[in-house]
A and B are shown apart, each in its own frame.
Chain A
Amino acid sequence: MGKQAAGKLKKGTKGAASAGRRAARSSAPLSCMPCLLPIRAKVLKNEKENSLVSLLTLDLQMPDAMPGQFLMAWQPGMDEKPMSIAENKPSVRLAIAAVGPCSKKLAETKAGDCIYVRGPLGKPFWPAGKRWLLVGGGYGFAPLRFLARVGMENGAKVESICGARTKGLLMKAGPGKNHQTTDDGSAGTKGNVLSALEPLLRSGHFDCVYSCGPEKMMKAVAETAKKHGVKSQLSVERYMKCGFGVCGHCAMGGWLACIDGPSIDGNEALANPAFGAYHTDKAGRKIRY
């Protein structure tokens, strides 16, 4: 990963898979191993993105971070949670949805406060063709906006569908052509992202659909893409503990969200019986969706 140009996506799924981990790990002497100890990062700015999400700009340079990867964000004394990287230029940004005690605390940080992070971790999205359709549900749109920016800089034609339950939960549009949907019709087209996805795919102008959002939504997105013969990539979330592939807690069957993912080929996800069916809680108990 370190050898790649900043923000440039590596070609091919296999390459991207190893890029998300440590390339040529086995031959590297131990002194070259990455450290997964927390580093302190100052919050430069905290902007309200919508009624749920705060966009933190950190005084942190991670030129090798790629869309789809995440950081473990630690609030000392509280918890540490995986947060997808929302941007790495001019410095790292995290889109924090205030859904639990730790994320609420992170969302309340002010300029000058410090948080602690480990990463970048996980397998990023990888380029597939040149015509991309990004489909984000709720705050799942955050990493896709980063993907849109990097993709367009690398010559991809990018179009986005950004959906939410209601206007106050919509994420801001990214670069490229944008479509918005809300379940209640308070902004954009009334309906869910699928209602916008179907006609766009029917037009046949896309090589790959990239999606991040609620799992049931992503499952429907992957199925729709498959029906139209279009590739898809998803970003799958599971309760995470170690974050680097040792503890096994974030398993979706035999697939680990932290190192095999979060990015996954849509057809691979559809073939996994756990996808869209259940996730696991803090103890590892199965919770059906």
Chain B
Amino acid sequence: MPDLSTALAGVKLDNPLVLASGIRGNNAQLLIRAAKEGAGAVTSKSCSLQAREGHANPTAIAAPTYMLNAIGLSNPGVEAEIEEIREAVKKAGVPVIASVFAGSAEDFAAVAARIAVAKPAIIELDISCPNVHKEGEMFSSSADWAVGVTKAIKQKVRSIPLFVKLAPNVPDIGAIAKACQTAGADGITAINTMPAMWIDVRAKRAVLANQYGGLSGPALLPVALRCVHSVRKACPSIPIIGGGGVTSGEDAARMLMAGANAVSIGSAVWYRQNAFGEIRQELAGFMKEEGFHKLPEIRLEG
């Protein structure tokens, strides 16, 4: 059997598949479930200082090649989330990544400092959710903003590796990743969903109540590969959780070739019956067929 283990800023994973934030990560039991299904690490749904109700329905639609969502970062607030992360850390048996978001650098630092008490293996900063524009532009759309948030958190949380989750819809994702690394980020998660829209021609209106949502699923994969590849070129040594439209073992291999150290799985929980188990097995099969023994061997040269 090929060795599927990997590491993210010193955090060891038995296999590279990571449950993406916002996907079935709403409570400890769901995170434990994803670990049992075969995830190498699990990411909780993004939480904020205060509870948020998110957008009205319809919040998500799915088609054969793409999925759109505008859940709107609904979450019960960081205090409730601390209990869930604590339990997941205790029982999941795999590293737990806590995702946080906020509307300002100060609040980002505050929510990260609170969630740190639950001792997640990694804290992921969601500075790139496309569904909350009313509260301002994404922090990830500007290197300066991304740096400000990263620095603010690094001042408060030193003991837990910090991953910054980036958006694909920027002119130079590599430059933003590099800026985050310089500001102290321990890793990069790329990418978030791509801003998108769907219109029902019979209803004559946008389907999502928020009108705009984030596109994921197979259609996002080529965009994600290019983004991860750009981040890898800009930051040769930074740990990367690469994701966006991965639904098979070969897709996971593509993401690893592009430069990722781990591969996040999101929409695939719908596209596949048992996403983690099947993709893991397919990846191992691919490695065997192609003569790869360890994950790092898969990466493309240059």
Contact = CB atoms under 8 A, between A and B. Distances in A.
Interface of A: 18, 21-22, 24-26, 30-38, 40, 72, 74, 76-81, 114, 116, 118, 240-249, 251, 253-256, 280-286
B79 to A, nearest CB: 10
A75 B270 CA distance: 25
Q: Which of A74, A248, A254 has the most CB of B within 10 A?
A: A248
Given A37-B61, A242-B59, A248-B24, A283 B272 contact: no
**Max chain B C-beta neighbours (<10 A), residue from A21, A33, A281:** A33
Contacts of B32: 254
A74 B203 CA distance: 10
B198 A283 contact: no
A114 to B, nearest CB: 8
Interface residues of B, number: 50
A253 B273 contact: no
B59 A241 contact: yes
Contact of A33 (B53, B54, B64, B75): B64
Contact of B207 (A26, A38, A254): A38
10 contacts: A18-B273, A24-B273, A38-B207, A78-B56, A244-B270, A246-B62, A246-B267, A280-B76, A283-B75, A285-B76
Contact of B63 (A21, A32, A35, A246): A35
B128 to A, nearest CB: 18
A74 B76 contact: no
A286 B71 contact: no
B74 interface: yes
Nearest to A77: B205
Contact of B273 (A22, A72, A118, A282): A22
A146 B271 CA distance: 30
B273 A21 contact: yes
Contacts of A247: 22-24, 26, 59-60, 69, 71
Contacts of B29: 251, 253-255
Nearest to A273: B29
Contact of B26 (A37, A114, A248): A248
B271 to A, nearest CB: 7
B250 interface: no
B254 to A, nearest CB: 16
A269 to B, nearest CB: 14
**When A and B form their complex, which 4 residue pairs have the shortest distance between CB atoms, in order from nearest?**
A254-B29, A242-B60, A80-B57, A248-B24
A241 B51 CA distance: 16
SS of B interface (majority)? loop
Nearest to A81: B57
A32 B271 CA distance: 11
Interface in B32-59: 32-33, 45, 51-54, 56-59
B37 to A, nearest CB: 10
A106 to B, nearest CB: 13
B181 to A, nearest CB: 31
A33 B218 CA distance: 12
B135 interface: no
A240 B57 CA distance: 9
A33 B66 CA distance: 11
Contact of B27 (A72, A116, A243, A253): A253
B200 A249 contact: no
A36 to B, nearest CB: 4
Interface in B229-286: 266-267, 269-274, 278
A240 B62 CA distance: 15
Contacts of A25: 271-273
Given A247-B22, A249-B26, A254-B32, A283 B273 contact: no
Given A251-B30, A286-B76, A243 B60 contact: yes
Contacts of B273: 18, 21-22, 24-26
Contact of B64 (A30, A240, A244, A253): A30
Contacts of A246: 23-24, 60, 62, 67, 69, 266-267, 269-270
Contacts of B218: 30
